Amino acid sequence: MFGRRDRAGRFDALARLYADDLYRFAVWLCRDPSLADDLVQETYVRAWKALDSLKDPDKAKSWLITILRREYARTFERKVPPLVDIDEVIGLEHDEVTPEQQLDRARFRERIMQLDAKYKEPLVLQVLMGMSIGEIAEALDLTESAVMTRVFRARAQLKARAPKE
């Protein structure tokens, strides 16, 4: 993907490819769209400074996730102010769904938010960002078997908490 492109070109390509995905992940992480926007921009500021350390372009997404999570931890190492509920964030979406579907989605999100972060993060990376088990393992600094266990348990908990039909 990058080959002989210059540094700025590589960076711009990373921004175009992954900024939206990173933003979505950041929203699930901090539940505040403006904060997520800041986090992503700060992630790219750091990425720009450290771009030469990214040797393998195929690992760019995991690399950016790692930077974003570190930045999030650094910024909110002591406490995360619960600024905005995730449903209010999603509520900004102008999606044509029925009220019943909206309610179902809201309930599903509630169950996702109840997941422990160690289960929620790999699940979001897999489903929302389409990352493979290997990529998630790299981004979260876990073994692949640990990631597999966590995404399995995340789904199992979501299913267990689903209303019975």
Question: What are the residues binding other proteins (CB under 8 A)?
Answer: 7-8, 11-12, 15-16, 19-20, 23-24, 27-28, 32-38, 40-41, 44-45, 48-52, 75-76, 78-79, 81-84, 88-95, 104-105, 108-109, 112, 123-124, 127-128, 133, 148, 151-152, 155-156, 158-159
- Separation between Cα atoms, residue 38 and residue 91, nearest integer Å: 20
Residue 43 near residue 51 (C-beta atoms within 8 A): no
Q: Is 54 helix (H, G, I), strand (E, B) or coil?
A: coil
- Provide the Cα torsion 93, 113, 121, 60; round to 10°: 10
| Least Cβ distance, residue 142 to other proteins (angstroms) | 14
| Least Cβ distance, residue 134 to other proteins (angstroms) | 11
The nearer residue to other proteins, 35 or 62, going by C-beta atoms, is: 35
The nearer residue to other proteins, 15 or 59, going by C-beta atoms, is: 15
The nearer residue to other proteins, 53 or 56, going by C-beta atoms, is: 53
CB proximity list for 110: less than 8 A, separation 6 or greater: 87
| Least Cβ distance, residue 141 to other proteins (angstroms) | 19
- Cα–Cα distances in angstroms (integers) from residue 26 to residues 9, 22, 39, 40, 56, in the given order: 24, 6, 7, 7, 23
